[in-house]
Each structure stands twice: as C-alpha cells, then as structure tokens.
Chain A
Amino acid sequence: QSALTQPASVSGSPGQSITISCTGTSSDVGSYNLVSWYQQHPGKAPKLMICEVSKRPSGVSNRFSGSKSGNTASLTISGLQAEDEADYYCCSYAGSTTWVFGGGTKLTVL
C-alpha cells in the first residue's frame, strides 16, 4: 500500500486556477472511479471536497472540480481565494477493503 504521489506544494495568485495531480497505480486510481479529495486547514480535521473523481458534495463551491485519466487524478481550483490556502489530500479505494491517501499538497495563495 504505497501512498499516492502528489506534488509537495503548489501556489497561485487570487483569481487564478491551479491543478493538483495525484498519481497512483493500476491497482488503485486506475482501477476505480473512487478517488476523493480532502481539504485540511492547519490544526483542523480534513473536509471532503470531491468524491467519486468529480462529484462535489453539497455545500462545496463549484470552484472545485476533479478529473481522472489513467492512473492520475487531478483537483482543479478555479478563482483562487485566500481561504483556499490549505493542505489537500487525494485518496483512492485500493480494493479488498483498503484505502490509500496521497502524501498531501500544500497550496499557497500568493
């Protein structure tokens, strides 16, 4: 169960768009459309932002979107806002009732 690979950090200016990648294998990301994304502010619990690759839970801004191609999933945040500055984690179901998270990406809003 190796962690999914995410860039350690990304940054963007207010109003811009950024994309965070999440690379797994054919055993996890590539096998299931069950990738989710979580936002975590310092000292807080994670919050679900995207489920099943591209679905937004109720209450999540439509500035957040997800996609997947092969073994790589992506989270895009458009119209960056200061409050988007946080850590972001992807997660994939990996079969046999197991899950794997990415290493996390720190988003800085310049």
Chain B
Amino acid sequence: QVQLVESGGGVVQPGGSLRLSCAASGFTFSSYGMHWVRQAPGKGLEWVAFIRYDGSNKKCADSVKGRFTISRDNSKNTLDLQMNSLRAEDTAVYYCAKAGEGYVFDIWGQGTMVTVSS
C-alpha cells in the first residue's frame, strides 16, 4: 500500500543541524512532487517545503528559507530535509506528504518529532 515513513527526528540544541528522511513505497515516487509540513505542539499545520518530481524546482517557506534544504533521491525513493541553524520555534512534528492532483497533500506520513532545546 501507499506509505510514507519519516525518520531522523530528535532533540538538538539551538543552532544545531538535523537531517530528516522520508521513505516512500507503494507508488511511483519519481512521478510526484513531495512536501514537508510541520506542526508545532498544540498548533496548526505549516507548509515548509516542496520539491518537484524530478528535483528541478524547490521552494521553501519564508520562515525556513536559507536554513532548510529539501532534496530527493528517486533511485532510493527517499525525500530529505536538511535543517541547519535550528531555532526553538522549529520544534514540531515534521510530516512528509505526497503532492496530489489539484495542488493537494494526498498522502501523509506519520510524522517525526524535532525538539530544539538546550
């Protein structure tokens, strides 16, 4: 079945770095754009980043621009998010999501928790 599984979350100090990964299965990964979406504890959803199916177009939200980088490896069916210069406000559950027709997020992973704290 279609599945997205995130990994790489954990506790990191302010200013530190972390790399999240998302393993995709059950669909032709190389044919679809992918997103990262985050949710701070008790808060709403926030779109973080998007990458086109072939990696040729990437975009990040203003709140993470210059600090976060989205990438993908279509040979391994994986999506990554490199997070640098982390701040307390980056603390959240990070979800990877498949881009669906109509500019939607049609498949979601279970999320991975990132805590930025000293």
- Asked if A and B are interacting partners, one says yes
Name A residues whose Cβ lies closer than 8 Å to a Cβ of B: 1, 3, 32, 34, 36, 38, 40, 45-48, 51-52, 55, 57, 89, 91, 93, 96-104
Closest to B46 in A: A101
A101 with B109: CB separation less than 8 A: no
Tell me whether A99 and B102 are in contact in the complex, defined as CB-CB below 8 angstroms, given that A38-B45, A45-B110 are known contacts: no
Within 8 A of A (CB), among B85-106: 95, 100-106
Q: Which 5 A-B pairs have the closest CB atoms?
A: A45-B108, A104-B44, A97-B59, A52-B102, A99-B47
When each residue 27-48 of chain B gets 1 if its CB lies under 8 Å from chain A and 0 otherwise, what string results?
A: 0000000010100000111110
Residues of B within 8 A of A101 (CB): 37, 44-47
A93 to B57, CA, bound (A): 16
Tell me whether A46 and B59 are in contact in the complex, defined as CB-CB below 8 angstroms, given that A51-B100, A91-B105, A93-B103 are known contacts: no
Tell me whether A100 and B47 are in contact in the complex, defined as CB-CB below 8 angstroms, given that A1-B61, A47-B108 are known contacts: yes
Tell me whether A48 and B47 are in contact in the complex, defined as CB-CB below 8 angstroms, given that A1-B62, A38-B105, A91-B105 are known contacts: no
Count chain B CB atoms within 10 A of each CB in A55, A97, A102, A103 and give the residue with the most.
A97
Tell me whether A57 and B57 are in contact in the complex, defined as CB-CB below 8 angstroms, given that A101-B46, A104-B45 are known contacts: no
Residues of B within 8 A of A46 (CB): 37, 45, 95, 105, 108
B102 with A36: CB separation less than 8 A: yes
How many chain B residues sit at the interface, stated as a range, is 20 to 34
Tell me whether A102 and B44 are in contact in the complex, defined as CB-CB below 8 angstroms, given that A1-B61, A45-B111, A97-B57 are known contacts: yes
A45 with B109: CB separation less than 8 A: yes
Within 8 A of A (CB), among B45-80: 45-47, 50, 57, 59, 61-63
Q: List 5 A-B pairs, Cβ < 8 Å.
A: A38-B45, A46-B95, A48-B104, A48-B106, A104-B43
Residues of A within 8 A of B108 (CB): 45-47
A57 to B101, CA, bound (A): 10
Instruction: For the complex formed, measure the closest distance between the CB of B13 and the CB atoms of chain A, giving whole angstroms.
Output: 27
Pick from B37, B45, B104: contact of A51, CB under 8 Å = B104
